[in-house]
Amino acid sequence: MRIRAHCTPIRHRRGRSARRGTALLFAAGLAVAALTSCSTGQDPVGETTLGSSSDINPQARDNLRDGGNLRLAITSFPANWNTVSNDGNEGEIAEVVRPMMPRSYRIDAAGETSLDHNYFTDIQLTSTEPQQVVYTINPKAVWSDGTPITWEDIASQANALSGKDKRFLIAINNGFDRVEKVERGADDRQAVITFARHYADWRGQFAGNSMLYPKSVTATPESFNDSLVNGISLTAGPFQVRSTDRTQGRIVLERNPKWWGDTPKLDTITFSVLDRTAWAAALQNNELDAARLSGLDEVTTIRNSPGLAIRQAPDNRWRHITFNGAPGSILADQGVRVAVSKAIDRQQIADSLYYGLIDDPKTLNNHLFLMGQKGYQDNSLGFDPEAAGRELDALGWVRQSDGIRAKDGRRLVIRDVMYNNPLWVQVATIVQQNLAKIGVGLEIDTRGGQGFFTDVIQPGDFDAAQFIYQGDPFPLGSISQIYAYHPDDLQGNYGRIGSDELNALIERTVSELDPDKTIELSNQVDRKVFEEGHSLPLVQEMGLYGVRPEVANFGAPGLASYDYTTIGFLK
């Protein structure tokens, strides 16, 4: 699901990792048609298949020195440190918060899950009729003020995310809309969740990007929406906040003295707010220790820089275009959206983005599964500009003397909004050229990172919007979040597109406990999403990082989660 970001704003989307799964660079005047026939003379750095690899310089703790400050970058200061709130549901915010908050499962490079025993000694599905899950909390687990983590924290978050009280501005129900009750188990360290309706991805309710927050945050709409706007104090991870400086754009995390697990090797982690285009240079200038890279220029720069290494493992981020189908939008008509989708040459986009980086760039042809994951299949409508033109003709959009179509006095011109980054502009330029061939205009509208989601995407200030979705191993929480349409509860459906038929299909999918049937239904959902003209997947991210060679257990994790206690610097 996708969340601000490295190359552009990223939005969390609950992805299927082991089973399935939120910027573009461009130099003005680039001749994109020639990209695929050129050669850089350098070996490609990776492939597009996802599934089993990570590249983090794995090292035993004994090989690492104690102490040190890991310097990382983000594009903007967190709008809200509550990552399950709508304003906080961004990838970069999660990256800052993850070292500090509980999650139920660890994830390996293949996307497989294992219980995180720092927080839970056991999680069991104990019944299916009714569905019931029992969480047993590690008796050592405490919040940073020393108070125990208890069943009441779980119950409070379940209530906040249930959707029953619309004053809670949640990013995702995450299956809690299907929960009947949460009760105390054998003691305060055990929570029993009973479901009123089946929920297939019950393992993901406190995992992946959905962290557990203390009841003081989730108890009321006011605390949920606003208490973490300016920072976070009560945490429960190996790190906690030492300082924040919004003016300087800097966040420093330090070891949590109340942490009960393995002592972190690092003393501190520092996040600096930097424009995305400055990351590679900051890495070169020894201002950062690691940074995500985009495009051949950045990769070449870092590869040719002494004292730096390239780490690469395809991950669960993917680029896409979301269309705005709200009443009054130029793309309110489903037929127009579908025609526009068919006219966009996604293979040309893939070739241009990955030119010189991989041998055989591929488009992503599924909204719910990533390449290399069980269940992935091509459900797209395909590239067919001739059909797109005929469909627009049939809908009454007539070419004018300047080549742009019009209907009822309105010109078919789309405003494409994106983070101000060259790669996003590169994609938009290709789309602009594609659409011009069928008589559709496109205006490129770039915005800054600060407030991109809260001020632009959420209110629907776009005709088309480009950003990155980021998933995790738990798919079904995001199907409703993004693709179901309820006008009074948009959640992550920023394009305001959907149908009763799609809603019903999503409900069937989320209720199915048989994994094979879930995959089959999920692909039916995906095909319907394409047919609605909801959004258009482009390419899967390659997961390229520039990292100092002495940094260990950090870099390109693929689908894996980091162990923040083992990240550090070689002796």
Task: Give the pLDDT confidence score for residue 481 in this predicted structure.
Answer: 84
Q: How is residue 105 written in tokens?
A: 């499962």
Q: How is residue 471 written in tokens?
A: 């998933």
74 pLDDT band, cuts 50/70/90, is very high
* 34 occurs within a structural domain: no
Shared-domain flag, residues 496 and 388: yes
For residues 108 and 481, give the distance between their C-alpha atoms in angstroms, rounded to a whole number: 25
Q: How is residue 299 written in tokens?
A: 């990769």
For residues 30 and 32, give the distance between their C-alpha atoms in angstroms, rounded to a whole number: 6
Cβ contacts of residue 176 below 8 Å, gap of 6+? Answer: 157, 158, 159, 161, 162, 163, 205
Shared-domain flag, residues 300 and 366: no
* Residue whose tokens read 């285009």: 277
Shared-domain flag, residues 194 and 135: yes
Q: How is residue 553 written in tokens?
A: 């257990």
Q: Is the pLDDT of residue 61 over 90?
A: yes
Task: Kindly give the interhelix angle for 422-436 and 346-354, rounded to the nearest 10 degrees.
Answer: 150
For residues 483 and 522, give the distance between their C-alpha atoms in angstroms, rounded to a whole number: 12
φ/ψ region of 67 (left if φ > 0, alpha if ψ in -120 to 50, else beta) reads left
Task: Kindly give the interhelix angle for 334-343 and 385-394, rounded to the nearest 10 degrees.
Answer: 160
Cβ contacts of residue 288 below 8 Å, gap of 6+? Answer: 71, 72, 73, 272, 279, 282
Region 321-325: mean pLDDT is: 98
Q: Is the pLDDT of residue 217 over 60?
A: yes
Shared-domain flag, residues 419 and 483: yes
Shared-domain flag, residues 307 and 395: no
3-state SS class at 304:
coil
Cβ contacts of residue 294 below 8 Å, gap of 6+? Answer: 6, 7, 23, 24, 25, 276, 421, 423, 544
The least confident of 24-28, 162-166, 313-317 is 24-28
The least confident of 11-20, 39-48, 341-350, 537-546 is 11-20
Task: Give the pLDDT confidence score for residue 49 in this predicted structure.
Answer: 52
- pLDDT per residue over 470-494, tens digit each? 767 787 778 888 999 999 888 789 9
- pLDDT per residue over 410-443, tens digit each? 999 999 999 998 889 999 999 999 999 999 999 9
* 329 occurs within a structural domain: yes
CATH number at residue 302: 3.40.190.10
Which domain, by its residues, includes 287? 238-313+544-570
CB 298 within 8 Å of CB 356: no
* 45 occurs within a structural domain: no
Shared-domain flag, residues 474 and 527: yes
276 C-beta neighbours (distance < 10 Å), count: 28
How many structural domains compose the chain? Answer: 3
The least confident of 71-80, 169-178, 213-222, 368-377 is 368-377
Shared-domain flag, residues 277 and 330: no
Q: Is the pLDDT of residue 26 over 70?
A: no
Amino acid making up residue 180: E
Shared-domain flag, residues 275 and 372: no
Region 530-554: mean pLDDT is: 96
Single residue among 176, 199, 227 that ends a domain in this structure? 227
Handedness of CA 416, 418, 420, 424 (dihedral sign): negative
Task: Give the pLDDT confidence score for residue 449 in this predicted structure.
Answer: 81
Cβ contacts of residue 164 below 8 Å, gap of 6+? Answer: 177
Ranges assigned E (strand) in 101-171: 105-107, 113-115, 120-128, 131-137
**Rounded CA Rg of the chain:** 23
* 53 occurs within a structural domain: no
Amino acid making up residue 353: L
Average pLDDT over the chain, rounded to an integer: 89
* pTM across the whole model: 0.80
Burial of 432: CB neighbours in 10 Å, binned 0-12, 13-18, 19+? middle
Which is nearest to 256 in space by CA: 272, 234, 228? 234
CATH number at residue 475: 3.10.105.10
- pLDDT per residue over 556-565, tens digit each? 998 889 999 9
Single residue among 227, 246, 263 that ends a domain in this structure? 227
Single residue among 227, 248, 266 that ends a domain in this structure? 227
CB 367 within 8 Å of CB 376: no
- pLDDT per residue over 250-296, tens digit each? 999 999 999 999 999 999 999 999 998 899 999 999 999 999 998 88
* 469 occurs within a structural domain: yes
State which H helix or E strand residue 190 sits in.
strand 190-195
Region 324-344: mean pLDDT is: 98
229 C-beta neighbours (distance < 10 Å), count: 15
State which H helix or E strand residue 508 sits in.
helix 500-511
Q: How is residue 412 written in tokens?
A: 């078919």
* 35 occurs within a structural domain: no
Pairing relationship of beta strands 190-195 and 179-184 according to DSSP bridges: antiparallel
Shared-domain flag, residues 210 and 191: yes
Q: Is the pLDDT of residue 24 over 80?
A: no
* 162 occurs within a structural domain: yes
CATH number at residue 127: 3.90.76.10
Shared-domain flag, residues 490 and 566: no
369 pLDDT band, cuts 50/70/90, is confident
10 pLDDT band, cuts 50/70/90, is low
Shared-domain flag, residues 392 and 520: yes
For residues 88 and 81, give the distance between their C-alpha atoms in angstroms, rounded to a whole number: 6
Please state, for a pLDDT cut of 90, what percent of the chain lies above it: 74
Q: How much of the chain is in helix, strand and coil states, percent to nearest 5? A: 25, 25, 50
Task: Give the pLDDT confidence score for residue 462 in this predicted structure.
Answer: 98
* Residue whose tokens read 């010189």: 356
Shared-domain flag, residues 369 and 513: yes
* 76 occurs within a structural domain: no
